[in-house]
Amino acid sequence: MQDYKTEHPFDITLSEEQQMTWDMLKKFAETEMRPNARATEAAGRPEPELLEKMKGLDLISLAIPEAYGGMEIAQDATSQALALEALAYGDLSLAMSLSLPMLTAKIITEHGSEEQKEALLKQYSAGSIFHVGLGLNNSNVMGDPLHSGILINESEDDLILNGTMTGVAFAGEATSFLISATSDSGESNLYVLDKDTEGLEIVSKEFMGLKGLPLSELQLANCKIKTSQKLGGHNYSINFQELLDSSRIGMSAMALGVCQAVLDYVVPYTNERVAFDEPISNRQSVAFMVADMAIETEALRLMVYKAAALKDLGADFHKQASLTYKFAAHHGMKIGTDGVQLLGGHGFTHEHPVELWYRNLRAIGIFEGGAGV
Amino acid sequence: MIHPLLPDQLQKTQETMRMAAEFILRPISRKYDKAEHEPPVEMEQLNQAAAAQAAEKDSGMGDDSIKSMDLKGRNLWAVISLEQMCWGDVGLFLARPGTGLGNAAIMAVGNPDQKTKWGKRWASMAITEPAAGSDSKNIATTAVLDGDEWIINGEKIYVTDGDRCDCVVVWATLNKAMGKTAIRSFLVEKGTPGFSVARLEKKLGIRASDTATLIFDNCRIPRENLLGGKEEVEMDADAAKKSFGGAMQTFDNTRPMVAGMAIGLGQAALDMTRALLAEEGYEDNFGASMGQQTAIQYELEMLDAELEAARLLVYKSAWMMDNKMPNSKEASMGKAKAGRIGNKISLKCVEICSMQGFSEDHLLEKFSRDSKILDIFEGTQQIQQLIVARQVLNKSSAELK
């Protein structure tokens, strides 16, 4: 009935190392990220000082090989999911300022050709984190996530790219982009595109959430690139489904962090808020919403753990990643909306973070490739 | 290590149990749904098969421990086993001769002598009364010590296996005015004078299992039949709280089990739905976008996700028991989620399969009737929410009623 094999017993205990990292990142999220969430949103990007502190966590260089200046400490998927959850507990936009370069560096490390690694990875250890913009989000409504909104045509030694990618973070700082594109045969791959490519236009966009990240749309009109600009080289073929599944576990882990933030916020609020002479949490209509929030958050945590554990085991994790992402999108949105509801009119204003979480949680289930494990 | 996965050995248990469910329970599912109140004699086969395997020291279904509820730290194993049995048929599983919820109570609160004496008897559990359901502190059945005997008086309803069992664990009060602190449980043997079965309920589902009304009319039982707890009501508030807590502890142990039943049933409904859909060319399309999925693909993926989430909550609560971690909150989380999802899935599957789902040609309609009780007994959905809410919000039962 199961399609995996393991001798190890059922377990949900964090290893000592995971616990230490978790404690450190959670504290950072609470003391450095959360208090700056509003300011980051207002500025549309992380303040430079905060960004330096975030870089100081050294999360990006973990996956990068020593040869390219990294630490080469490849983390397992469960550890990465824990790290993403802890960061998102602080603020989703800020967390994604790290998770996006983390994912980008990881993809280049795992799939890039020697030449591409040489050209793109070394800059990470030099302190640059936004030099490669990652574009995996389609802009069409009826899209299939496996099919890129950018179509590719081969013309002798060149590839011609046409179409639109959206939700590309920090495009203004990027010197190149790593974007998905689909060929006539329906195969999707990633391509490295220089910022100055003729026919590429970068248009800044505003979205309802993730406002602490500068997001843009890339419009490609007859952009000509060389076949060697395919990630991994001309003959390389990426498992696009697996890439998507990994990123969906990552996004679900971040949803978990935000859901936990909502829960931890509404518990003291409903306990302290008095109406009709007693705390509103003394009433079942309020208390049961909180109970359900706790139940679904815990369930999401176990879903994320299981999907990541399957990946670590080397088993097929497509179904589990799909279910987890669907669960995260559905219950994340429910928890977001209940968070606002529990605070009533107060929740609708900027005086409390629940409306921010409401907007950010709506990104889960929509935003592909914002984080990965 | 974060590894919420089943080791090969437990997967083997799953397969063995699934085979038993498929080949022993499923073929007689409809028969005993129709023939309500008729003991399913074929279930003896299951016990015989179990005994045969026990002789071979197989760790699969042959293990006797699930029968006696003496799990010795193997609650996850038990949950997985009964999940598969209930994939076959919840009603029949509950009607399996030999095991009742009373056995869980004996194992949870009984002293060593009581466990030895009654552990392997078939014990049902009698708590609910016509005027006391979820608020068990309002129990009106009385127990009065008279010399070396307790005299039990009262009426109990909705006792699962109440007719076919060997003995009953009866909840009664030593002094109604003292509320929950005065509640104790007692073991009453079948055939004790003054103890009679008054009627059997006709029900929406789980018809293979009997649900009885029991009458205790000056029923005298030995003094040592008091299960755990003291013979007098504690005046000290802390001691009293502890005493009732002890009785309620039974539920921390049984809720993961009942939740496991709902998981098995939910999986059965999904499997049967997919089998019917496959005949008409249906295929899953996990992870696709809304624009790419049909309504049925979308619904089934969502239901799969919900069921998997519930399953992991339940496994976690059982794993915590095995590791001696307090699991009251987690047991209720799992029961709340599994109870509502088992019901939702089975009703949705009837809808998806349309007239075939609604028809008695298939078992989907039966699953949807059986599932409802799993969101009611061993604590209703709302009682589970209440327990979770009190713990999450750190509230007393006086604050959050």
| Chain A partners within 8 Å of B286 (Cβ) | 318-319, 322-323
Q: Given B2, B10, B15, which is nearest A12 (Cβ)? A: B2
Other C-beta atoms lying within 10 Å of the C-beta of residue B104: 24
Q: Model confidence at B61, in pLDDT bands (50, 70, 90)?
A: very low
Which A residues 143-182 touch B at CB under 8 Å? 143-145
For A239, what's the count of Cα atoms within 13 Å in the CB-facing half-sphere? Answer: 8
Residue with tokens 């430079």: A48
Spatial separation of the C-alpha atoms in residues A162 and A144, rounded to whole Å: 17
**Distance between alpha carbon B391 and the CA centroid of its chain, in Å?**
23
Lowest model confidence (mean pLDDT) among A26-40, B133-147, B310-324: B133-147
| Chain B partners within 8 Å of A271 (Cβ) | 393-394
Find, among B71, B58, B29, B24, the residue nearest to B44 by Cα. Answer: B24
Rounded percentage of chain B residues whose pLDDT exceeds 90: 73
DSSP 3-state assignment of B28? Answer: helix
Q: Best residue in A138, A298, A300, A324 to probe B by mutation, most B CBs within 10 Å?
A: A298
Subunit contact B8:A322, Cβ cutoff 8 A:
no
Compute the nearest-CA separation of B291 from chain A (Å): 5
Subunit contact B319:A318, Cβ cutoff 8 A:
no
Residue with tokens 């640059």: A128
Residue B361's pLDDT is 97
Subunit contact B389:A324, Cβ cutoff 8 A:
no
Residue B247's pLDDT is 65
Q: Model confidence at B57, in pLDDT bands (50, 70, 90)?
A: very low
Residue B56's pLDDT is 57
- State the amino acid at position A203 in one-letter form: V
Q: Given A284, A291, A323, which is nearest B392 (Cβ)? A: A291
Whether the CB of A246 is below 8 Å from some CB of chain B: the reply is no
Lowest model confidence (mean pLDDT) among B60-64, B132-136, B214-218: B60-64
Rounded percentage of chain B residues whose pLDDT exceeds 70: 93
Mean of pLDDT values over B61-90: 78
Whether the CB of B299 is below 8 Å from some CB of chain A: the reply is no
Spatial separation of the C-alpha atoms in residues A291 and A338, rounded to whole Å: 11
Q: A240-361 in CATH: which number?
A: 1.20.140.10
Subunit contact A322:B312, Cβ cutoff 8 A:
no
Rounded percentage of chain A residues whose pLDDT exceeds 70: 100
Q: What is the DSSP letter of B25?
A: I
Q: What are B337-378's pLDDT values in tens digits?
A: 999 999 999 999 999 999 999 999 999 999 999 999 999 998
Kindly identify which residue of chain B lies nearest to residue A244, measuring between CA atoms. Answer: B287
Which A residues 322-341 touch B at CB under 8 Å? 322-327, 330
- DSSP for A139-163? --TT--TTS-SEEEEEETTEEEEEE
Residue B228's pLDDT is 77
Q: What are A272-284's pLDDT values in tens digits?
A: 999 999 999 999 9
Whether the CB of A276 is below 8 Å from some CB of chain B: the reply is no
Q: B68 or B331: which carries more pLDDT confidence?
A: B331
Kindly identify which residue of chain A lies nearest to residue B290, measuring between CA atoms. Answer: A142
Whether the CB of A284 is below 8 Å from some CB of chain B: the reply is yes
Q: Given B15, B302, B313, which is nearest A326 (Cβ)? A: B302
Question: In chain B, what is the straight-line distance between the N-terminal and C-terminal CA atoms, in Å?
Answer: 39
Q: What are A284-316's pLDDT values in tens digits?
A: 999 999 999 999 999 999 999 999 999 999 999
Check if the beta carbon of residue B361 is closer than 8 Å to that of residue B350: no
DSSP 3-state assignment of B140? Answer: coil
Kindly identify which residue of chain A lies nearest to residue B299, measuring between CA atoms. Answer: A326
Find, among A327, A182, A358, A188, the residue nearest to A248 by Cα. Answer: A327
Domains, chain B: 1-94 (1.10.540), 122-233 (2.40.110.10), 237-401 (1.20.140.10)
Which B residues 42-101 touch A at CB under 8 Å? 76
Buried residues in B143-152 as b, exposed as e (16+ CB within 10 A): beeeeeebbb
Q: B235 or A250: which carries more pLDDT confidence?
A: A250
* Helix segments in chain A, DSSP class H: 16-28, 37-43, 48-55, 77-90, 92-111, 114-120, 122-125, 240-272, 284-313, 318-343, 345-348, 354-361
Residue B253's pLDDT is 81
Compute the nearest-CA separation of B176 from chain A (Å): 27
Phi-psi region of B286 (alpha: psi -120 to 50; beta: other; left: phi over 0): beta
Q: What are B225-277's pLDDT values in tens digits?
A: 999 778 888 777 777 776 676 667 777 788 999 999 999 999 999 999 999 99
Give me the architecture of the A16-125 domain, per CATH: Orthogonal Bundle (1.10)
Q: What are B86-107's pLDDT values in tens digits?
A: 999 999 999 888 778 888 888 8
Residue B99's pLDDT is 75
Which A residues 200-239 touch B at CB under 8 Å? none
Whether the CB of A313 is below 8 Å from some CB of chain B: the reply is yes
ipTM rounded to 2 decimals: 0.96
Check if the beta carbon of residue B39 is closer than 8 Å to that of residue B96: no
Output the CA–CA distances (angstroms, integers) from residue B138 to B131, B179, B195, in the order listed: 8, 7, 21
Spatial separation of the C-alpha atoms in residues A118 and B344, rounded to whole Å: 54
Kindly identify which residue of chain A lies nearest to residue B300, measuring between CA atoms. Answer: A323
Rounded percentage of chain A residues whose pLDDT exceeds 90: 92
Q: What is the DSSP letter of A129?
A: -
**Angle CA B338–B344–B350, to nearest 5:** 135
Subunit contact B309:A299, Cβ cutoff 8 A:
yes
Which A residues 23-52 touch B at CB under 8 Å? none
Whether the CB of B286 is below 8 Å from some CB of chain A: the reply is yes
Give the homologous superfamily in CATH for domain A132-229: Butyryl-CoA Dehydrogenase, subunit A, domain 2 (2.40.110.10)
Subunit contact B305:A303, Cβ cutoff 8 A:
yes
Check if the beta carbon of residue B197 is closer than 8 Å to that of residue B157: no
Q: What are A142-194's pLDDT values in tens digits?
A: 888 899 999 999 888 899 999 999 999 999 999 999 999 999 999 999 999 99
Subunit contact B336:A248, Cβ cutoff 8 A:
no
Residue B53's pLDDT is 63
Residue boundaries of the structural domains of chain A:
16-125, 132-229, 240-361
Mean of pLDDT values over A91-115: 97
Q: What are A327-346's pLDDT values in tens digits?
A: 999 999 999 999 999 999 99
- DSSP for A59-118? -STTSS-GGGT----PPPHHHHHHHHHHHHHH-HHHHHHHHHHHHHHHHHHHH--HHHHH
